[in-house]
Amino acid sequence: MRVRQKPLDQQVIVITGASSGIGLATARQAAAAGAAVVLVARSEGALRQVCAEIEADGGQALAVVADVGDPDDMARVTREAVARFGGFDTWVNDAGVGVYGDSLEINLEDHERLFRTNYFGVVHGSLEAAHHLKERPGGGTIINIGSILSDMAAPLMGPYVASKHAVKGFTDTLRIDLQRQGAPVQVTLIKPASIGTPFPDHARNYMDEAARVPPPVYAPEVVADAILHAARRPVRTMTVGGAGRQMVLTHAAAPALADRLFGAVIPPLSRRESPKPARDSLYEASEGGEARIDAYGSRPFSLYTQAHKRPGVVVGAALLGLAAALVWRNREQIRERAGPTMRRGVERLPWSRATGTPAGLASTLH
């Protein structure tokens, strides 16, 4: 059965992790495009504030305070979305937490807690969405937020890297299972590179210094734009940020070299000289309310991601470029062969040299 992805102004979109970062940026952009949004997070105050902002601008928003690691909470999200809007068309699993530290130092309790949010939160949300969308006329879309760390490893983030690999594996398998059932559900994996959100400040940090994401850093709105593109167009997977894609390709082409390179370069780039935040969001809700942090800058645009969204334009431009290169390379032969033909054609015209063609015209054909 074919999925019918509606225009955004006809959709209801559930977004987990909507109180800050990528989730918040996505909620704002979706509401601005006319979608009704169901905002899910543990931070009640931040959710209420975001909903008030959206409604003040004429949008529709519903706040649901919930923990994605609790399957009963995710079932409640579905019930409240149905009660308020009659259901939903797209479900975005964005909620995530982080832990910075050496893999040998991070205790197992923190490791397990991270998986409860980052992996099982995606599982719980995806299963809720899949059961609902299978029965919804026209179906809908599940969008899971992975990372470039779904495809490679990085030091100081062992549990986070493992969780994002797990998210990719689950997402790809869910897609296959839904296809086998003939369910009208599009399943997408979005893989951001370094994004300028409050994530490092919300993460549990075993390091002595405050954490940061390594440059180059992209704005969360770039990811939000990719998410909403996938909500209305069939997308299997999309990497956000060309620099991240280059890192993944380096890891795939020369893994041993990449291990040494990333091990030497990433740790110093993952620290910044400022005090560590007193609290983190691993076990408790953060205050939320911020989509981005501009302390170390962020790129508002990714040419690579824009090209990925418009493959037809890219192929067309590549073919035109190839044609131009071939013409230039063979320009002498083309001129030799085309010149006499063009001159004969001109001479046959009523206003040819025999009937008074301007003298300068013939010279232009040589």
As a whole number of angstroms, the distance between CA 321 and CA 342 comes to 25
* pLDDT tens-digit map of 52-98: 999 999 999 999 999 999 999 999 999 999 999 999 999 999 999 99
pTM, full prediction: 0.84
Residue at 2 is within a domain: no
- Residue from 97, 306, 329, 58 nearest 211 by CA: 97
DSSP string, 176-228: HHHHHHT--EEEEEEEE-SB-SSHHHHSEE-SSSEE-PPSS-B-HHHHHHHHH
Residue at 318 is within a domain: no
Same domain, 214 and 349: no
pLDDT of res. 114: 98
pLDDT of res. 175: 98
Residue at 315 is within a domain: no
Same domain, 340 and 218: no
Tokens coding 351:
């206003």
Residues, the chain? 366
**Residues in the chain with pLDDT < 70?**
1, 294-297, 301, 310-328, 331, 333-366
Same domain, 303 and 197: yes
Same domain, 358 and 304: no
Phi, psi angle pair for 302, to nearest 5°: -130, 110
Residue at 273 is within a domain: yes
As a whole number of angstroms, the distance between CA 67 and CA 59 comes to 25
Most distant CA pair in the chain, distance: 95
pLDDT of res. 365: 36
pLDDT of res. 56: 97
Which residue in this structure is represented by tokens 């508002």?
300
Question: Active-site residue numbers?
Answer: 160
pLDDT of res. 290: 83
Q: Which domain holds residue 262?
A: 8-310
Structural domain count of the chain = 2
The amino acid at residue 250 is: T
Same domain, 201 and 344: no
Same domain, 205 and 301: yes
Tell me the three state secondary structure of residue 77: helix
As a whole number of angstroms, the distance between CA 67 and CA 73 comes to 6
Same domain, 222 and 351: no
Same domain, 241 and 358: no
Q: What is the CATH number for 99?
A: 3.40.50.720
